[in-house]
Amino acid sequence: MKEVNAALSGAKAKILKALAHQTRIYMVEKLSGGEKCVCEFVGETGLDFSTVSKHLAILKDAGIVRDDKRGQKVFYSLKVPCITNFLGCIETIIKSNLEEQSSMFK
Amino acid sequence: MKEVNAALSGAKAKILKALAHQTRIYMVEKLSGGEKCVCEFVGETGLDFSTVSKHLAILKDAGIVRDDKRGQKVFYSLKVPCITNFLGCIETIIKSNLEEQSSMFK
DNA sequence: CGGTTATTTGGTTATATTACCAAATAACAA
DNA sequence: TTGTTATTTGGTAATATAACCAAATAACCG
């Protein structure tokens, strides 16, 4: 692969890798409804505080979310709205996959 | 996390994981211009035949591409056009990240 | 200040991913 | 049939990820 292409695909892969985890997808979808603090995700997911914090750090490092410390709490919010549309395309794929699977039994 | 949410986010994660690799992103982008055989990707990427084949199998398993064997060759093509739009959103993020980085030096 | 809450950081272990090589399969050509 | 090309499959070693625990940091409260 040419170096230019490799660099660009690599940059895209970094962002996709940040999204490619069950918990982080859940977080991004929740954040499309507005900012949330770390503690809210801890309550909802049942994961350790440190685990949640690390997931959010990955999203932040990729440029998908931003953080805002107010008092003792850190609030995270979506930085890039188009992510939400993107996840719509993923749902299209899931539906299409399900239809194919069920048509195998006809 | 509730089981329903976990299952749905998990299904989405599977598809995103399939996309989350430099080589596979490159492949998907190339395929948006039309079908290609495995051998073409081998030539372009410089990777081993087996490696390329496995990457394509991951995309196929996720429902992103389909394959079509004709003669000795196997042609892969995009199954879901919206993937291309999605990658546009990723580029938005990359640009925004670059702008932030450069503004640090002002 | 001392205690509590919210969050991050560092360390460790388990699991997943990736790339290569070698071998198996499949279609075609001589 | 034998050889060649295209592709997949299986195995292995290196690297990356993810979850938890413990400890560090930071802000607030009494």
Structure confidence by residue, pLDDT tens digits, A29-80 = 999 999 999 999 999 999 999 999 999 999 999 999 999 999 999 999 999 8
Q: What distance in Å separates the CA atoms of residue B59 and residue A22, rounded to the nearest whole number?
A: 18
Q: Is residue A86 part of a domain?
A: no
Q: Which residues contact B27 (CB under 8 A, 6 or more apart)?
A: B41, B55, B56, B59, B65, B76
Compute CA B85 distance to the chain's CA centroid, rounded to the nearest angstrom. Answer: 12
Q: With respect to residue A48, please indicate whether it lies within any of the assigned structural domains.
A: yes
- Listed in sequence order, the residues at least 6 apart from B98 whose beta carbon sits closer than 8 Å to its beta carbon are none
Candidate from A21, A64, A80 with C-beta closest to B13: A21
Q: Which residues on neighbouring strands pair with residue B65, listed in sequence order?
A: B78
Which of A51, A79, A86 is the best mutation test for B, with the most CBs of B within 10 A?
A: A86
Percent pLDDT > 90 in chain B is 76
In-domain check, residue A49? yes
Higher pLDDT, B20 or A3: B20
A63 assigned to some structural domain = yes
Is A50 part of the contact surface with chain B (CB cutoff 8 Å)? no
Domain count, chain A: 1
Residue A94 near residue B12, CB atoms below 8 Å: yes
- State the CATH number of the domain containing residue B42: 1.10.10.10
- Any B CB within 8 A of A28 CB: no
User: Residue A26's domain spans which residues?
Assistant: 3-79
The answer as to whether B38 is a domain residue is yes
> Average pLDDT of chain A?
93
The answer to the question of residue A102 being in a domain is no
Q: Is the pLDDT of residue A104 over 80?
A: no
Q: Tokens 């039309």, residue?
A: B34
Strand D contact with A15 (CB < 7 A): no
The answer to whether position B61 is within a domain reads yes
pLDDT at residue A28 tops 80: yes
B16 domain residue, yes or no:
yes
Chain B residues lying within 8 Å of A98, measured CB to CB: none
